[in-house]
Amino acid sequence: AQKVTQAQTEISVVEKEDVTLDCVYETRDTTYYLFWYKQPPSGELVFLIRRNSFDEQNEISGRYSWNFQKSTSSFNFTITASQVVDSAVYFCALSEAVGSYTGNQFYFGTGTSLTVIP
C-alpha cells in the first residue's frame, strides 16, 4: 500500500482560479511529519511546508494554505488566485519517526502536476 497517495496526477486551472492538491497518508506511528515540496520545470525540489503530527492547526502563507486533518489522514494544499509561476509538480511527503537513531523512513507521493493557464 502507498504510504502517501496523491490521487490527482495532473490538474489544469486558469490563472486566478483557486486549486486544491490532495494528499492522503498512511502511518501507524503517533509521531510523524508531513511535508509539501514543489518541483518546478527546472527540476530542483523546493521545500514549502512541514507539519508534525501533533499540530493540526491549519496554516496560511500568502496565497498558500494547508489543511491537516488527522481524522481523515489528509494534508491538503490550496493555492489561492493561482499564477503561471505556480506551474510545477507538487509532492507530498511523510517522515516517520521510527526509533531515535535508527530507521527514519521517508516517503514521497507520486506528485501532482499543476498547469496554470494564462
Partner 1 sequence: DTGVSQNPRHKITKRGQNVTFRCDPISEHNRLYWYRQTLGQGPEFLTYFQNEAQLEKSRLLSDRFSAERPKGSFSTLEIQRTEQGDSAMYLCASSFTFGGSSYNEQFFGPGTRLTVL
Nearest residue to 40 (alpha-carbon basis) of 102, 84, 92: 84
- Provide the minimum distance between the beta carbon of 60 and partner 1 in the complex, in angstroms, as a whole number: 18
Size of the site for partner 1 (CB under 8 A): 29
Please give the grid coordinates belonging to residue 64.
498558500
Q: What is the DSSP string of 30-64?
A: SSEEEEEEEE-TT---EEEEEEETT----EEETTE
- Provide the minimum distance between the beta carbon of 38 and partner 1 in the complex, in angstroms, as a whole number: 11
**Alpha helix (H) residue ranges in 60-102:** none
Position among 50, 67, 74, 80 found at the interface with partner 1 (CB under 8 A): 50
Position among 88, 96, 114, 116 found at the interface with partner 1 (CB under 8 A): 96
What residue ranges bind partner 1 (CB under 8 A)? Answer: 4, 33, 35, 37, 43-47, 50, 52, 91, 93, 95-97, 99-111
